[in-house]
């Protein structure tokens, strides 16, 4: 969803907002821009706990609780990976997210392609099930899966977590890909056919490259949803611990500052991806694509 918004906004950002007379009238009145203050105040609220988290990844706490500022240290960055269990949890999170990205990326792309391109029996039903899977609360999805695993005597663990994550991510990928498929110009594919390409070559050489940004966006969304998930995972992960689950468990005994370090690193990766995304969108707009 986020990637969609960026590209849309990127494309529409330059042109067509605020016509000239409106701007003139606004200037003439010189009213206080309350909207700007409001927006920045809400943004400050959104960033407050993040700033706190980053700042306290450099704190040198006295006791087990990293709550009051004691002094600056880089110790936690030097020993970022000193907690074996935390590392294991982080590794599980990343590997589950990668598997989810690949599997839901594949299934979601095929589904999105079919929904965007073809009419078929059961299309309405498919849309309804996808809508339900997206809007159902996580606690319901987790509880339903756990109920069924219990009744089937399936032991929950790593693979049941992957299954659950793919289940809730596949619709998001499908929606992202479908949105792109609908906007594709069918004449490009017809041209490829006219030039002698078979159905498979047309798909591989024409359709797929045009879909690629959407597939990437959907896959990254699936990765982000998976690595962030706590509620569904807590139901279906059995003895396996992921990063959010480990943090949750650690709250009772006090969270080591390494958690702040890993949170900061995740944030940095997100920031980097977002900046690259925007830079690419800018370049696309600039080259008139």
Among 98, 102, 163, 184, the residue binding other proteins under the rule CB under 8 A is 163
Q: Cβ closer to other proteins: 219 or 263?
A: 263
Rounded Cα distance, 86 and 132, in Å: 34
30: left (phi over 0), alpha (psi -120 to 50) or beta: left
Residue 157 interacts with other proteins (CB under 8 A)? no
> What backbone torsions phi and psi does residue 185 show, to the nearest 5 degrees?
-85, 115
Among 97, 175, 214, 222, the residue binding other proteins under the rule CB under 8 A is 175
Are the CB atoms for 208 and 113 separated by under 8 Å? no
Rounded Cα distance, 106 and 173, in Å: 9
Q: Cβ closer to other proteins: 164 or 215?
A: 164
Q: Is the dihedral of CA 24, 29, 30, 34 positive or negative?
A: negative
Shortest CB 209 distance to other proteins, Å: 18
Rounded Cα distance, 7 and 220, in Å: 14
Residue 39 interacts with other proteins (CB under 8 A)? yes
Rounded Cα distance, 225 and 172, in Å: 10
User: Which structure tokens are listed for 158?
Assistant: 């790593």
Residue 220 interacts with other proteins (CB under 8 A)? no
Residue 214 interacts with other proteins (CB under 8 A)? no
Residue 131 interacts with other proteins (CB under 8 A)? yes
31: left (phi over 0), alpha (psi -120 to 50) or beta: beta
Residue 211 interacts with other proteins (CB under 8 A)? no
Shortest CB 246 distance to other proteins, Å: 9
Stretch 79-98: interaction string toward other proteins, x if CB under 8 A: --------------------
The interface with other proteins within residues 40-59 (CB under 8 A) comprises: 42-43, 45-50, 52-53, 56
| Residue 59 bridge partners (DSSP) | 72
Shortest CB 188 distance to other proteins, Å: 18
Residue 281 interacts with other proteins (CB under 8 A)? yes
Residue 151 interacts with other proteins (CB under 8 A)? yes
The interface with other proteins within residues 97-126 (CB under 8 A) comprises: 106-108, 110-111, 113-115, 117-120, 122, 126
């Amino acid at each position: 969803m986020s990637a969609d918004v960026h590209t849309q906004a990127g494309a529409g950002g330059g042109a067509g907002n605020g016509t000239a007379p409106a701007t003139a009238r606004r200037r003439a009145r010189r009213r206080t821009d309350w909207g700007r203050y409001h927006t920045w105040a809400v943004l400050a609220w959104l960033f407050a706990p993040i700033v706190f988290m980053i700042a306290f990844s450099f704190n040198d706490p006295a006791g087990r609780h990293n709550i009051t500022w004691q002094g600056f240290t880089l110790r936690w960055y030097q020993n970022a990976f000193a907690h074996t269990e935390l590392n294991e949890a982080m590794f599980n999170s990343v590997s589950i997210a990668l598997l989810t990205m690949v599997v839901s990326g594949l299934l979601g792309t095929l589904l999105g392609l079919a929904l965007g391109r073809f009419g078929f029996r059961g299309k309405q039903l498919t849309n309804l099930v996808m809508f339900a899977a997206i809007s159902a609360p996580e606690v319901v999805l987790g509880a339903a899966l756990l109920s069924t695993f219990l009744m089937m005597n399936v032991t929950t663990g790593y693979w049941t977590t992957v299954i659950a994550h793919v289940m809730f991510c596949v619709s998001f990928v499908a929606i992202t890909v479908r949105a792109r498929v609908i906007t594709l110009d069918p004449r490009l594919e017809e041209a490829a056919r006219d030039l002698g390409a078979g159905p498979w070559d047309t798909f591989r050489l024409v359709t797929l490259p045009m879909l690629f940004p959407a597939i990437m966006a959907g896959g990254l969304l699936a990765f982000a949803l998976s690595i962030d998930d706590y509620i569904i995972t807590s139901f279906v992960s059995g003895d396996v611990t992921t990063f959010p689950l480990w943090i949750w468990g650690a709250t009772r005994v006090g969270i080591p500052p390494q958690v702040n370090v890993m949170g900061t690193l995740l944030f940095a990766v997100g920031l980097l991806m977002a900046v690259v995304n925007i830079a690419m969108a800018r370049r696309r707009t600039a080259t008139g694509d």
